[in-house]
Amino acid sequence: MIILGIDPGSRCMGYGVLQADGSRQELLDQGVLRLDTDTPHTARLADIYEGADALIDEHAPDECAIEMPVYGRNPQSMLKLGRAQAAAMLAPLHYDMQVTEYAPKEVKRAATGNGNADKKQVRYMIASMLGVDPPDDLALDASDALAVALCHQNRQTGHAPKQHSGWAGFVEDNPDRVSG
């Protein structure tokens, strides 16, 4: 199964494409669609749709997973983020593709075992799992999108990662996933 993961945004959209087979995954593509902030918001929404459409044309994913906006301090920013998510969702829906939304905490837990992990921790773990060295070769938005795809794979295979209360517990349970 090929999974397209999307981390939507009104200024940039992270994306990641995984080939998933059971509990295994292979990185097919990743990156960030950067949107010109001088462009009107409605035109950026069209760019998001076209970018997602191009990824679908290139990789022919079976399913799409997208991070959902949960909350924010600025209502106007949340409205723009919700519109960006909707624009990103329209392309796979146009192809009758299943689109599944995931909360940020669930995505972080799938990648790190900790639903409160920061973006750099997510990037480090995603890079480790997918063999990206050095981890900084992944943009933060791309690693978030790959984490969304991984979260979807975990849900599809019934593999729910164990939750850890901190890094010490994670390292103890996963010595092979941490280099030192």
The residue segments making up the domain with residue 58 are 2-177
* DSSP letters for the chain: -EEEEEE--SSEEEEEEEEEETTEEEEEEEEEEE--TTS-HHHHHHHHHHHHHHHHHHH--SEEEEEPP---S-HHHHHHHHHHHHHHHHHHHHTT-EEEEE-HHHHHHHHHS-TT--HHHHHHHHHHHHT-SSGGGS-HHHHHHHHHHHHHHHHHHT-PPPP-SSHHHHHHH-GGG---
Q: Select which of 7, 63, 106, 144 is catalytic.
A: 7
The structural domain count of the chain equals 1
pLDDT tens string 25-63: 999 999 999 999 999 999 999 999 999 999 999 999 999
Active-site annotation holds for 53: no
CATH for 160: 3.30.420.10
pLDDT tens string 61-106: 999 999 998 777 888 888 999 999 999 999 999 999 999 999 999 9
The confidence score (pLDDT) of residue 155 equals 87
Distance of alpha carbon 22 from alpha carbon 158, whole angstroms: 10
Straight-line distance from the first to the last Cα atom of the chain, in angstroms, rounded to the nearest whole number: 33
Active-site annotation holds for 176: no
Q: Select which of 63, 67, 106, 144 is catalytic.
A: 67
pTM of this structure: 0.86
Active-site annotation holds for 21: no
